[in-house]
Protein backbone atom coordinates (compact mmCIF):
# COMPACT_ATOMS: atom_id res chain seq x y z
CA UNK A 1 0.00 0.00 0.00
CA UNK A 2 1.44 3.33 -1.01
CA UNK A 3 1.57 6.36 1.25
CA UNK A 4 -0.85 8.15 -1.10
CA UNK A 5 -3.53 5.46 -0.78
CA UNK A 6 -2.98 5.35 2.99
CA UNK A 7 -3.53 9.11 3.11
CA UNK A 8 -6.80 8.73 1.14
CA UNK A 9 -7.95 5.91 3.43
CA UNK A 10 -7.07 7.87 6.54
CA UNK A 11 -8.80 10.98 5.22
CA UNK A 12 -11.96 8.95 4.42
CA UNK A 13 -11.88 7.42 7.92
CA UNK A 14 -11.47 10.81 9.60
CA UNK A 15 -14.32 12.29 7.52
CA UNK A 16 -16.63 9.39 8.47
CA UNK A 17 -15.64 9.65 12.14
CA UNK A 18 -16.32 13.38 12.08
CA UNK A 19 -19.73 12.83 10.46
CA UNK A 20 -20.64 10.15 13.02
CA UNK A 21 -19.62 12.42 15.91
CA UNK A 22 -21.63 15.34 14.54
CA UNK A 23 -24.67 13.08 14.19
CA UNK A 24 -24.19 11.84 17.77
CA UNK A 25 -23.94 15.46 18.92
CA UNK A 26 -27.22 16.13 17.08
CA UNK A 27 -28.92 13.30 19.01
CA UNK A 28 -27.62 14.67 22.31
CA UNK A 29 -28.82 18.20 21.51
CA UNK A 30 -32.29 16.70 21.13
CA UNK A 31 -32.25 14.81 24.46
CA UNK A 32 -30.67 17.64 26.43
CA UNK A 33 -32.99 20.16 24.83
CA UNK A 34 -36.18 18.27 25.71
CA UNK A 35 -35.01 17.46 29.25
CA UNK A 36 -33.98 21.06 29.99
CA UNK A 37 -36.96 22.64 28.16
CA UNK A 38 -34.44 24.39 25.94
CA UNK A 39 -36.52 24.89 22.81
CA UNK A 40 -33.70 26.38 20.73
CA UNK A 41 -31.32 23.54 21.59
CA UNK A 42 -33.95 20.92 20.81
CA UNK A 43 -34.81 22.60 17.50
CA UNK A 44 -31.12 22.72 16.59
CA UNK A 45 -31.21 18.92 16.22
CA UNK A 46 -33.67 19.27 13.33
CA UNK A 47 -33.67 20.95 9.96
CA UNK A 48 -36.51 23.51 9.81
CA UNK A 49 -38.55 21.39 7.36
CA UNK A 50 -38.03 18.14 9.30
CA UNK A 51 -40.89 15.76 10.07
CA UNK A 52 -41.19 13.96 13.40
CA UNK A 53 -43.55 11.01 13.83
CA UNK A 54 -43.80 10.09 17.52
CA UNK A 55 -47.18 8.37 17.28
CA UNK A 56 -48.84 10.59 19.90
CA UNK A 57 -47.69 13.72 18.07
CA UNK A 58 -46.61 14.15 14.48
CA UNK A 59 -45.69 17.07 12.33
CA UNK A 60 -43.00 19.57 11.49
CA UNK A 61 -40.10 20.02 13.89
CA UNK A 62 -41.26 23.25 15.55
CA UNK A 63 -44.77 21.93 16.15
CA UNK A 64 -43.43 18.68 17.58
CA UNK A 65 -40.88 20.43 19.82
CA UNK A 66 -43.57 22.73 21.24
CA UNK A 67 -45.85 19.75 21.84
CA UNK A 68 -43.10 17.71 23.55
CA UNK A 69 -42.00 20.49 25.90
CA UNK A 70 -45.64 21.35 26.70
CA UNK A 71 -46.51 17.72 27.37
CA UNK A 72 -43.58 17.11 29.72
CA UNK A 73 -44.15 20.42 31.52
CA UNK A 74 -47.82 19.62 32.08
CA UNK A 75 -47.56 15.93 32.97
CA UNK A 76 -44.18 15.36 34.62
CA UNK A 77 -42.22 16.80 37.50
CA UNK A 78 -38.94 15.40 36.15
CA UNK A 79 -37.95 13.28 33.19
CA UNK A 80 -34.97 11.96 31.25
CA UNK A 81 -34.45 10.85 27.66
CA UNK A 82 -31.46 8.50 27.49
CA UNK A 83 -29.93 7.33 24.21
CA UNK A 84 -27.92 4.14 24.08
CA UNK A 85 -27.05 1.84 21.15
CA UNK A 86 -26.59 3.82 17.97
CA UNK A 87 -25.85 2.80 14.41
CA UNK A 88 -25.59 5.06 11.41
CA UNK A 89 -25.09 4.39 7.71
CA UNK A 90 -23.37 7.26 5.93
CA UNK A 91 -24.07 7.98 2.29
CA UNK A 92 -22.56 11.33 1.35
CA UNK A 93 -24.74 14.10 2.77
CA UNK A 94 -27.44 11.64 3.90
CA UNK A 95 -27.28 9.20 6.79
CA UNK A 96 -29.73 6.68 8.18
CA UNK A 97 -29.60 6.03 11.91
CA UNK A 98 -31.19 3.79 14.50
CA UNK A 99 -30.78 4.86 18.12
CA UNK A 100 -32.23 3.05 21.12
CA UNK A 101 -33.79 5.20 23.81
CA UNK A 102 -35.02 4.87 27.38
CA UNK A 103 -37.46 7.40 28.79
CA UNK A 104 -38.28 7.86 32.46
CA UNK A 105 -40.77 10.40 33.77
CA UNK A 106 -41.94 11.21 37.30
CA UNK A 107 -45.59 11.88 36.57
CA UNK A 108 -47.53 14.55 38.41
CA UNK A 109 -50.29 11.96 38.88
CA UNK A 110 -49.87 8.21 39.13
CA UNK A 111 -46.77 6.04 39.05
CA UNK A 112 -43.65 6.99 37.06
CA UNK A 113 -43.52 6.26 33.31
CA UNK A 114 -40.87 4.05 31.79
CA UNK A 115 -40.60 3.65 28.03
CA UNK A 116 -38.19 1.91 25.68
CA UNK A 117 -37.88 2.30 21.95
CA UNK A 118 -35.85 3.46 18.99
CA UNK A 119 -35.43 6.62 17.00
CA UNK A 120 -35.19 5.78 13.31
CA UNK A 121 -33.79 8.87 11.63
CA UNK A 122 -32.80 10.22 8.26
CA UNK A 123 -30.11 12.81 8.84
CA UNK A 124 -28.98 15.26 6.20
CA UNK A 125 -25.94 17.50 6.06
CA UNK A 126 -27.03 20.89 4.78
CA UNK A 127 -24.65 23.81 4.52
CA UNK A 128 -22.16 21.78 6.55
CA UNK A 129 -24.55 20.97 9.45
CA UNK A 130 -26.02 17.56 10.22
CA UNK A 131 -29.64 17.57 11.36
CA UNK A 132 -32.68 15.34 11.53
CA UNK A 133 -34.71 15.50 8.32
CA UNK A 134 -37.20 12.76 9.25
CA UNK A 135 -37.71 10.87 12.50
CA UNK A 136 -39.94 7.94 13.37
CA UNK A 137 -40.07 7.11 17.08
CA UNK A 138 -40.68 3.37 17.42
CA UNK A 139 -42.14 2.82 20.89
CA UNK A 140 -41.27 -0.75 21.88
CA UNK A 141 -42.64 -0.70 25.45
CA UNK A 142 -44.60 1.99 27.22
CA UNK A 143 -45.69 1.55 30.82
CA UNK A 144 -45.36 2.52 34.45
CA UNK A 145 -43.48 1.11 37.39
CA UNK A 146 -43.83 1.22 41.15
CA UNK A 147 -41.43 3.69 42.70
CA UNK A 148 -39.87 2.08 45.78
CA UNK A 149 -38.65 4.66 48.28
CA UNK A 150 -35.03 4.57 49.41
CA UNK A 151 -34.09 4.83 53.08
CA UNK A 152 -34.20 8.48 54.17
CA UNK A 153 -30.42 8.84 54.64
CA UNK A 154 -29.73 7.53 51.11
CA UNK A 155 -32.46 9.66 49.58
CA UNK A 156 -31.02 12.77 51.26
CA UNK A 157 -27.43 11.99 50.20
CA UNK A 158 -28.38 11.20 46.61
CA UNK A 159 -30.47 14.36 46.26
CA UNK A 160 -27.77 16.65 47.69
CA UNK A 161 -26.37 17.45 44.23
CA UNK A 162 -29.77 18.47 42.83
CA UNK A 163 -32.30 19.57 42.27
CA UNK A 164 -32.90 18.76 38.66
CA UNK A 165 -33.89 21.91 36.79
CA UNK A 166 -35.74 21.86 33.52
CA UNK A 167 -34.40 25.13 32.21
CA UNK A 168 -31.11 26.92 31.58
CA UNK A 169 -30.58 27.31 35.35
CA UNK A 170 -29.78 23.57 35.54
CA UNK A 171 -26.27 22.86 36.83
CA UNK A 172 -25.32 21.35 33.45
CA UNK A 173 -25.21 24.90 32.02
CA UNK A 174 -22.85 26.19 34.74
CA UNK A 175 -19.50 27.38 33.33
CA UNK A 176 -17.06 26.83 34.81
CA UNK A 177 -18.28 24.10 37.16
CA UNK A 178 -16.75 24.75 40.58
CA UNK A 179 -17.79 22.81 43.67
CA UNK A 180 -21.10 22.06 42.00
CA UNK A 181 -21.82 25.65 41.06
CA UNK A 182 -20.75 28.17 38.46
CA UNK A 183 -17.88 30.40 39.47
CA UNK A 184 -18.95 33.86 40.55
CA UNK A 185 -18.32 36.73 38.27
Does residue 13 form part of some domain?
Answer: yes
CB 65 within 8 A of CB 29: no
Does residue 162 form part of some domain?
Answer: no
Structural domain for 63, as ranges: 3-156
> Looking at residue 182, what DSSP letter applies?
E
For residue 163, whether the previous peptide bond is cis, meaning omega lies within 30 degrees of 0, is: yes
Does residue 133 form part of some domain?
Answer: yes
Q: Give pLDDT tens digits along the chain (185 positions).
A: 566 677 899 999 999 999 999 999 999 999 999 999 999 999 999 999 999 999 888 999 999 999 999 999 999 999 999 999 999 999 999 999 999 999 999 999 999 999 999 999 999 999 999 999 999 999 999 999 886 776 887 677 766 666 778 888 887 888 888 775 555 44
Does residue 111 form part of some domain?
Answer: yes
The domain tally of the chain equals 1
98 Cβ contact list (under 8 Å, min separation 6): 86, 87, 88, 118, 119, 120, 121
Does residue 167 form part of some domain?
Answer: no
pLDDT of residue 88: 97
* The model's pTM: 0.84
Reported for 72-78, long-range contacts at CB under 8 A and 24+ positions apart, including other chains, are 72/34, 72/37, 72/105, 72/166, 73/37, 73/166, 74/108, 75/105, 75/107, 75/108, 76/105, 76/106, 76/107, 76/108, 76/113, 77/106, 77/107, 77/108, 78/105, 78/106, 78/164, 78/166
Does residue 174 form part of some domain?
Answer: no
CATH number at residue 32: 3.10.450.50
28 Cβ contact list (under 8 Å, min separation 6): 83
Does residue 164 form part of some domain?
Answer: no
Amino acid sequence: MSETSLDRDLLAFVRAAKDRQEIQDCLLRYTRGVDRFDRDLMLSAYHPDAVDQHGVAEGDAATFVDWAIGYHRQHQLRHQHIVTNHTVELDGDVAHGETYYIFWGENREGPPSLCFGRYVDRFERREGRWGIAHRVCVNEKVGTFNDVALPADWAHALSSTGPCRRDRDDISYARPLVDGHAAAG
